[in-house]
């Protein structure tokens, strides 16, 4: 009869060990689940951090671009407002006759000096004159056709008259050159 007690004892030990093992496994499973949750949270936070970092870099690049554009093109309204001053000074110099140039040499020289200084200021700030010549090909990106006329000896699309020069501000068109264009049909 002593043997059944041993079997019962062994069964009790096996049951206790099994229960203890089950508890340890449950704890390990809970710890593993918690680790999995923490890893997922870490990965999510890392992703959010990387996106925020990318957003910050993009914002910095946009800011730099806006700053550069403001530096280059911020004065475009003032520059555009100065173009009629250039046009009027040019007209005044072109209208002066040889006789007037002799009589008012100092005045004409002052206007010429002022015109040169205005062009220097334009150049300093990135404003370039677009000065097409009669006979050049019409370019709709740089020229504005004020009229078309069939002029013998010309080809359609050729500039026949320059009414006003145009201007570029760095790489942007400030004002197109105003021109007359030939509409002479091909012969």
Residues in a beta bridge with 143: 177
Assess whether pLDDT exceeds 50 at residue 1.
Answer: no
Do 47 and 86 lie in one domain? The reply is no
Do 26 and 83 lie in one domain? The reply is no
Do 185 and 165 lie in one domain? The reply is yes
Q: How many folded domains does the chain comprise?
A: 3
Do 130 and 176 lie in one domain? The reply is yes
Angle between helix 76-95 and helix 105-124 axes, rounded to 10 deg: 150
User: Could you tell me the pLDDT band of residue 81, with boundaries at 50, 70 and 90?
Assistant: very high
Do 69 and 84 lie in one domain? The reply is no
Statement: the pTM of the whole predicted model exceeds 0.75: no
| Residue indicated by tokens 């370019």 | 139
**Could you give the 3-state DSSP secondary structure of residue 109?**
helix
* Domain interval for residue 88: 75-125
Do 20 and 33 lie in one domain? The reply is yes
* Region for residue 170 given its phi and psi (left: phi exceeds 0; alpha: psi -120 to 50; beta: otherwise): left
Do 43 and 80 lie in one domain? The reply is no
Do 36 and 93 lie in one domain? The reply is no
Assess whether pLDDT exceeds 50 at residue 131.
Answer: yes
Do 57 and 108 lie in one domain? The reply is no
Do 134 and 184 lie in one domain? The reply is yes
Per-residue pLDDT tens over the stretch 174-187: 999 999 999 977 65
Q: Which residue has the higher pLDDT, 143 or 20?
A: 143
Do 68 and 107 lie in one domain? The reply is no
Do 68 and 18 lie in one domain? The reply is yes
């Amino acid at each position: 009869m002593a043997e059944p007690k041993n079997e019962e004892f062994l069964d009790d030990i096996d049951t206790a060990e099994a229960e203890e093992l089950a508890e340890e496994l449950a704890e390990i499973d809970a710890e593993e689940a918690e680790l999995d949750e923490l890893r997922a949270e870490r990965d999510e936070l890392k992703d959010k951090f990387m996106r925020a970092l990318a957003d910050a870099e993009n914002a910095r690049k946009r800011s730099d671009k806006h700053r550069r554009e403001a530096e280059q093109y911020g004065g475009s309204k003032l520059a555009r407002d100065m173009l009629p001053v250039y046009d009027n000074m040019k007209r005044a110099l072109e209208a002066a006759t040889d006789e007037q140039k002799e009589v008012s040499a100092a005045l004409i020289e002052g206007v010429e000096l002022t015109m040169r200084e205005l062009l220097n200021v334009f150049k300093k700030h990135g404003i370039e004159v677009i000065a097409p010549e009669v006979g050049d090909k019409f370019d709709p990106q740089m020229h504005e056709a004020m009229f078309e006329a069939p002029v013998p000896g010309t080809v359609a699309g050729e500039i026949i008259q320059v009414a006003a020069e145009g201007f570029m501000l760095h790489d942007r068109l400030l004002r197109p050159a105003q021109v007359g264009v030939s509409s002479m049909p091909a012969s």
